[in-house]
Amino acid sequence: MEGKGSFSIFMEKSKCYIAMICLQFGYAGMNIITKVSLNRGMSHYVLVVYRHAFATAAIAPFALVLERKTRPKMTFPIFMQIFVLGLLGPVIDQNFYYAGLKFTSPTFSCAMSNMLPAMTFVMAVVCRMEKVDIRKVRCQAKVVGTMVTVVGAMLMTMYKGHVINMIWSEHMHPRASAPASTDKDWFKGSILLVFATLAWASFFILQAITLRRYSAPLSLTSLVCFMGTLQSIAVTIVMEHKASVWTIGWDMNLLAAAYAGIVSSSIAYYVQGLVMEKRGPVFVTAFSPLMMIIVAIMGSFILAENIYVGGVMGAVLIVIGLYSVLWGKYKECKEKEAEEIPETIKAKGTNFMPTIIEDVETEKTQKLEAIKLKSPVVAISIPMPQPPMIAMEAPKAAVV
């Protein structure tokens, strides 16, 4: 029984960590599949439209059924926040990210995305969602961890070094599905990825704010995906003038759209919202460096990408920075829990001692009554002798 109890407690505390790690594997798969689809000529504007169409179709039925009684009333400010969320996430972030991915590589794109925790942390501090007291060790850990993460990502980007020959890479050959990117395209892709990361950080901050007023994660996810679909259609009509770009068959393009829509949009938005309510946006974005490591390994398998010494060194720094940020968030949660317990005791302090005294007196009374009921009662008559002075004075009073 104790083993089951401790395991359940461990799982309860680890749910947020497990959920975010699983999401990074989902994002990594999306990067690999999307890169293959873009190399085959699919328009990233059309990919965004189909992605969020699949996401809306996947998440909307659950929102309609599970949150039909708890869904808050829609107001104009909430609608505008959902409109901006659809613009930041599905339109700006994903179109810029796919364009940068097309010009660069999955590993490089993920490395640039590792600026996300730093951007989100700074924006959270500006929006007063995160408090920084540099005198406290936990705040120092978050600041230093964010800086180390950015340094690791930039090291992975700027310094390559020698190629690390993997055992499986000796029997693989690079795919020639897309022409090699020039330095100009590489720089253009880097700028697009920076803007995509900035939009992604803004999306996390606004999503956390919206969830406070619209506490229905499934409904919010479906509305954001639906709004993103409509906005993406408008953008695609403006940017793509050929009707043939909308053609999609039973191939990698369909798989990329369905996988990205169901896993990376509908499920990811919902899970991120749940975790964000408990731990905040910085905790959610702190796991993004893991995606880069997963993509680097998967890319060497599937796309035959080379892994360099600089990439490994940067990955080590990123993991160190990641754990520093998570340690700071863990200490912050512990401090909040410790502050909540004294407040609860203080609120009940006026009635706490009288309740204990009353319970003790009641228990004593019940024990005495139980002893009386169990013990037999025997009445004994004993003659009481009179005091001597009274016995001698009584006859004198009779003679007079």
Please give the pLDDT value at position 38: 86
Contacts of 307 (CB under 8 A, 6+ apart): 163, 164, 166, 169, 296, 300
In this structure, what DSSP letter does residue 326 have?
H
Q: Which amino acid is at 195?
A: F
Do the strands 163-164 and 307-308 form a parallel or antiparallel pair, or are they unpaired? antiparallel
CA distance 236 to 248: 15
CA distance 242 to 254: 19
Question: Tens place of pLDDT for every residue, the chain, 400 residues?
Answer: 555 578 788 888 888 889 999 999 998 888 889 888 888 888 999 999 999 999 999 989 989 998 888 899 999 999 999 999 999 988 999 999 988 888 877 877 887 777 777 777 778 888 877 778 888 888 888 888 888 878 887 786 677 778 777 665 555 555 444 455 555 677 788 888 889 988 988 998 898 889 889 988 889 989 999 999 999 999 999 998 888 888 888 888 899 999 998 888 888 878 888 888 788 777 887 787 788 778 878 877 777 777 778 777 887 887 788 778 778 877 887 787 777 665 555 555 545 444 444 454 555 565 555 555 554 544 444 444 444 433 444 444 444 3
Please give the pLDDT value at position 176: 43
Per the listing, tokens 């009509």 go with: 237
Residue 308 sits at φ, ψ, to 5 deg, of -105, 160
Q: Which amino acid is at 122?
A: V
Reduced to 3 states, what is the DSSP secondary structure of residue 384?
coil
Q: Alpha-carbon torsion 179, 183, 185, 191, what sign?
A: positive
pTM: 0.69
Please give the pLDDT value at position 321: 83
Please give the pLDDT value at position 333: 76
CA distance 162 to 134: 39
Per the listing, tokens 């996947």 go with: 58
Reduced to 3 states, what is the DSSP secondary structure of residue 163?
strand
Q: How many CA atoms lie within 13 A of 336 on its CB side?
A: 10
CB 48 within 8 A of CB 94: yes
Please give the pLDDT value at position 389: 39
- For helices 268-279 and 183-213, what crossing angle results, to 10°? 60
If you write DSSP's letter for every residue of 60-111 in order, what string do you get? HHHHHHHTTTTPPPP-HHHHHHHHHHHIIIIIIIHHHHHHHHHHS-HHHHHH
